[in-house]
């Protein structure tokens, strides 16, 4: 539990982190494999482990029991391309010019090749694959994902509700090819390919990102599976994800790689038109409210991560890159990162290195969050976006929530805690100025 | 409990209603007074009786215990002017040309004088007053509210976050005057004036609408009251509403009018940027989701309404006019109404006369609801409004929710219940065609 006052600096913690014996000192002799299951629009509340009543996720729940489940883990953006840019680079999307909506089928933009992704960081020691949805650029020089360090790619260039759409495959010496799409079996296909990749690379360290398109719309349950969830097609799709994870875990076990493999599960943003944000407010794309950003996060590596933990430490998907650098011994890219190493938050329950998290809506810092406090400055309302400090919506200039007593962000206590309000408003303003200056010029 | 299949016709019920002895046969000899406390943007979940934890509402809760509290009561629109047009006329706002956003400070429109309001229906037997917010037109021929049957008006022409804004008073032979606004004491002022009106008219039947501006933004708690709710200024304002209701009830008691007065409490729509929708999804203005429409509803008249009831019957604020016609013996206006008489739902727990309720977003039927089922066709998302049947969001053309198991409208079961889906979609389409034809031509 993180109990510091929100204004406390983290300097003391860094010292502690540097001197204490790390819990993963008994790390396996080989470099750990990494399987990242990145879901698309999966809601925090759609997992049994996170309180879902209408969806059964036994494998996700078992994975959570085998390691750590986070309750305050956030995507670095409330929509897809931006969140993925943050996840893979450890830097907010605004730095790479990716903080402008999501990439559309007719766009010519993408994640700049000079950005360093987790896959690039892990090369050449690791075999790397991205199987599923890329959505970080589908024209040269951003395409295929091999330009960003993935040896192998099999999947879709962008969201599967966009047209025209084709399924692509690229490997060493293999040209891009297209295949007919069969939405009903997309998840199963990706899992199949992922398992094949694990099998092909079982003798060496690998980094596999299974960037499933599920449960993003359109929802087309697999006719070969028979879940019939009371949560409808969405529930069936989430249960297919769960089944797929079960198959991956069975493969790792069959190959004897369980203790050598770090398995991570998360989502790119909150749920869209279906799915549950848990007790958070709003959902994907909804400006500064938690529901657009708070996502499931599970991490498991038996022998390295103690089983049965639940952590409420603040963390974000931009933490993946520095954390995996520590986890694998890889050298960090030589550039400023926004993410922090949370490896010992995961293994040793040390407090989060984050005093706060910034919530971006495109290039705008729309919310800022500490463990207890939340400042929200903008919200969508009907057909437009509102500055909550204007039109007499907030006398104070924004809304401040005490998440300890009001996790759903219903009642602003800005007038009750002016010092907290002022401090967070300053952080938000300073952050906006910093990132405005860092953003690529149009 | 209403347990009919959603497709059952209500013919049998009408017969039963016509032949059974009404529970209010022991009605008082004088025509009952009516006090309607109409709050502005008060959320369903902001009342202690409806589950609020951070706001204390002892008088509202006591009122609910003294009569009936509804759990499935809806505003007839998700924003203010439209909801009020429906409430006062018993007809959806689309009929009167009022279904186009809300009235702005520079608008020249209003509720057509030929519409018949509850106040007009009750004249000349009743003394009538509207104290608080009108928001149904503030230029001739829509202004002042006396053109719609209110003898006395004291309050604001539109929402108190709009500018320029003045406080107006109008009475018999009294010209409109303006006063300086003191937001901190608006609620107290309205309550004072309401109590004065009750006192002035204690010897005759009266219809008082206390159309409070609370808890709509801006939120300016009264410095003379000291609530300091953990729900911040919003909580304080709701507690001021509660205190005000307590003062009104004390006045009725002091005058010996308790059993002669029907007290109704509701809100014009769901909560805006603060406030709780309870377990409903979304909030004010949010297209077809319940949270924009579901509001508190309490009705109390000791001796006429049994105490301690909780009703989950479907009802809507358009039901007020026909219900009050029955309650007072007034003649219904000679025109087609959308509302239904729910007087015996209130007194005798008969099933709701509504098989379904239409949820309008401006002139568009955006949702339709039965007791168990909910069809949602449109939703706002970021800066635009989406047809959920397009862009591959729903394979079926809209989202269908089973509210019995999924009250928060998270998981569409359209593919599980195609007959229910088709029937509701037909009702929605038919309703859209009907109201398109009825709407005034621009």
Residue A19 in any domain: the answer is no
Domain boundary among A354, A378, A399: A354
Residue B404 in any domain: the answer is yes
Residue A11 in any domain: the answer is no
Whether residues B334 and B417 share a domain: the answer is no
Question: How many angstroms separate the CA atoms of B399 and B130, rounded?
Answer: 40
Question: Residues of chain A with pLDDT > 90: what percent?
Answer: 85
At A257-279, the pLDDT tens digits run 999 999 999 999 999 999 999 99
Mapping DSSP to helix (H, G, I), strand (E, B) and coil, where does residue B398 land?
A: coil
Whether residues A345 and A425 share a domain: the answer is no
Is residue A219 within 8 Å of residue B392, measured between CB atoms? Answer: no
Model pLDDT, residue A174:
63
What pLDDT band is residue A381 in, cutting at 50, 70 and 90?
very high
Whether residues B292 and B404 share a domain: the answer is no
Residue A82 in any domain: the answer is yes
pLDDT at B28 exceeding the cut of 80: no
Residue B13 in any domain: the answer is no
Model pLDDT, residue B391:
80
Is residue B39 within 8 Å of residue B214, measured between CB atoms? Answer: yes
- Work out the minimum CA distance from B382 to partner chain A, whole angstroms: 6
Whether residues A234 and A376 share a domain: the answer is no
Whether residues A90 and A234 share a domain: the answer is yes
pLDDT at A403 exceeding the cut of 90: yes
Model pLDDT, residue A181:
80
| A291: nearest Cα among A5, A44, A114 | A44
Whether residues B351 and B367 share a domain: the answer is no
Interface of A with B in 251-310 (CB under 8 A): 271-276, 285-286
To 10 degrees, what angle do helices A80-89 and A320-328 make? 30
- Work out the minimum CA distance from B402 to partner chain A, whole angstroms: 9
pLDDT at A47 exceeding the cut of 50: yes
Model pLDDT, residue B1:
35
Question: How many angstroms separate the CA atoms of B424 and B419, rounded?
Answer: 9
Q: Report chain B's mean pLDDT, rounded to a whole number.
A: 92
Domain CATH for A370? 3.30.1120.10
Its sign, for the CA torsion A395, A397, A402, A403, is positive
CB contact under 8 A, A274 and B410: yes
Whether residues B149 and B293 share a domain: the answer is yes
pLDDT at A1 exceeding the cut of 50: no
CB contact under 8 A, A388 and B273: yes
Residue B428 in any domain: the answer is yes
Model pLDDT, residue B10:
35
Question: How many angstroms separate the CA atoms of B210 and B202, rounded?
Answer: 16
Model pLDDT, residue A441:
82
Domain boundary among B304, B325, B355: B355
Domain that holds residue B403: 363-438
| B273: nearest Cα among B234, B240, B238 | B234
Whether residues B330 and B387 share a domain: the answer is no
Domain boundary among B308, B324, B355: B355
Whether residues B314 and B420 share a domain: the answer is no
B380, B412, B414: residue with CB nearest A383: B380
Whether chain B has a CB inside 8 Å of the CB on A405: the answer is yes
Residue A96 in any domain: the answer is yes
B232, B393, B413: residue with CB nearest A412: B232
Q: If you average pLDDT over residues A293-301, what whole number do you get?
A: 98
pLDDT at A182 exceeding the cut of 90: no
> Exposure of A22 by Cβ count < 10 A (0-12 exposed, 13-18 middle, 19+ buried)?
middle
At A365-375, the pLDDT tens digits run 999 999 999 99
Interface of B with A in 141-200 (CB under 8 A): 160-161
At A115-143, the pLDDT tens digits run 999 999 999 999 999 999 999 999 999 99
Q: If you average pLDDT over residues B113-127, what whole number do you get?
A: 98
Is residue B156 within 8 Å of residue B190, measured between CB atoms? Answer: no
Model pLDDT, residue A14:
36
Domain count, chain A: 2
Model pLDDT, residue B173:
61
Of A18-22, A305-309, B190-194, B292-296, least confident by mean pLDDT is: A18-22
pLDDT at B301 exceeding the cut of 80: yes
| A252: nearest Cα among A207, A302, A198, A327 | A198
Question: How many angstroms separate the CA atoms of A7 and A86, rounded?
Answer: 25
Whether chain B has a CB inside 8 Å of the CB on A29: the answer is no
Question: How many angstroms separate the CA atoms of A311 and A1, rounded?
Answer: 7
Domain CATH for B82? 3.40.720.10
Whether chain B has a CB inside 8 Å of the CB on A226: the answer is no
| Chain center to CA of B387 | 27
Interface of A with B in 365-404 (CB under 8 A): 379-385, 388, 391-395, 399, 402
Question: How many angstroms separate the CA atoms of A11 and A25, rounded?
Answer: 23
| B275: nearest Cα among B36, B50, B37 | B50
CB contact under 8 A, A234 and B388: no
Q: If you average pLDDT over residues A71-77, what whole number do you get?
A: 98
B55, B274, B399: residue with CB nearest A273: B399
pLDDT at B14 exceeding the cut of 90: no
pLDDT at B373 exceeding the cut of 60: yes
Whether chain A has a CB inside 8 Å of the CB on B6: the answer is no
Whether residues B66 and B157 share a domain: the answer is yes
Whether residues B322 and B406 share a domain: the answer is no
Whether chain B has a CB inside 8 Å of the CB on A50: the answer is no
Whether chain A has a CB inside 8 Å of the CB on B362: the answer is no
Model pLDDT, residue B164:
80
Residue A262 in any domain: the answer is yes
B161, B402, B414: residue with CB nearest A392: B161
Cβ partners under 8 Å of residue A329, min gap 6: A31
pLDDT at B12 exceeding the cut of 90: no
Interface predicted TM-score (ipTM)? 0.92
Whether residues A310 and A380 share a domain: the answer is no
């Amino acid at each position: 539990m993180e109990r510091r006052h929100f204004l406390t600096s983290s300097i003391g913690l860094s010292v502690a982190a540097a001197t204490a014996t790390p819990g993963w000192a008994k790390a396996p002799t080989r470099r750990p494999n990494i399987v990242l299951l990145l879901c698309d629009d999966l809601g925090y509340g759609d997992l049994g482990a996170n309180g879902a009543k209408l969806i059964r996720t036994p494998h996700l729940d078992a994975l959570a029991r085998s390691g750590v489940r986070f309750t305050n883990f956030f995507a670095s953006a409330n929509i897809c391309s931006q969140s993925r840019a943050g996840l893979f680079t450890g830097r907010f999307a605004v730095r790479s010019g990716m903080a402008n909506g999501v990439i559309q089928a007719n766009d010519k933009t993408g994640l700049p090749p000079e950005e360093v992704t987790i896959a690039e960081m892990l090369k050449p020691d690791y075999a790397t694959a991205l199987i599923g949805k890329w959505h970080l650029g589908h024209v040269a020089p951003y395409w295929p994902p091999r330009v960003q360090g993935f040896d192998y790619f099999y999947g879709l260039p962008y969201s599967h509700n966009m047209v025209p759409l084709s399924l692509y495959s690229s490997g060493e010496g293999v040209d891009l090819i297209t295949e007919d799409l069969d939405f009903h079996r997309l998840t199963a296909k990706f899992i199949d390919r992922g398992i094949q990749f694990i099998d092909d690379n079982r003798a060496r360290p690998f980094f596999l990102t299974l960037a499933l398109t599920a449960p993003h719309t359109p929802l087309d349950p697999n006719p070969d599976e028979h879940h019939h969830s009371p949560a409808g097609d969405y529930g069936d799709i989430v249960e297919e994800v769960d089944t797929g994870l079960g198959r991956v875990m069975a493969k790792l076990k069959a190959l004897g790689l369980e203790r050598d493999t770090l398995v991570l599960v998360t989502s790119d943003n909150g749920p869209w038109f279906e799915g549950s944000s848990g007790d958070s407010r709003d959902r994907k794309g909804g400006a500064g409210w938690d529901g657009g950003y708070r996502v499931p996060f599970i991490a498991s590596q038996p022998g390295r991560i103690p089983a049965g933990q639940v952590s409420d430490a603040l963390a974000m998907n931009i933490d993946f890159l520095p954390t995996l650098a520590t986890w694998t011994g890889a050298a960090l890219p030589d550039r400023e990162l926004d993410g922090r190493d949370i490896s010992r938050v995961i293994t040793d329950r040390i407090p989060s290195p984050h005093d706060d998290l910034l919530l971006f809506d495109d290039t705008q810092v729309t919310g800022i969050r500490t463990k207890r406090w939340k400042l929200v400055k903008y919200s969508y309302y009907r057909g437009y976006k509102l500055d909550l400090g204007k039109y007499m919506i907030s006398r104070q200039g924004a809304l401040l929530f005490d998440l300890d007593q009001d996790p759903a962000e219903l009642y602003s206590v800005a007038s009750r805690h002016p010092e907290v309000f002022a401090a967070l408003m300053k952080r938000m303003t300073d952050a906006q100025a910093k990132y405005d200056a860092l953003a690529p010029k149009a």
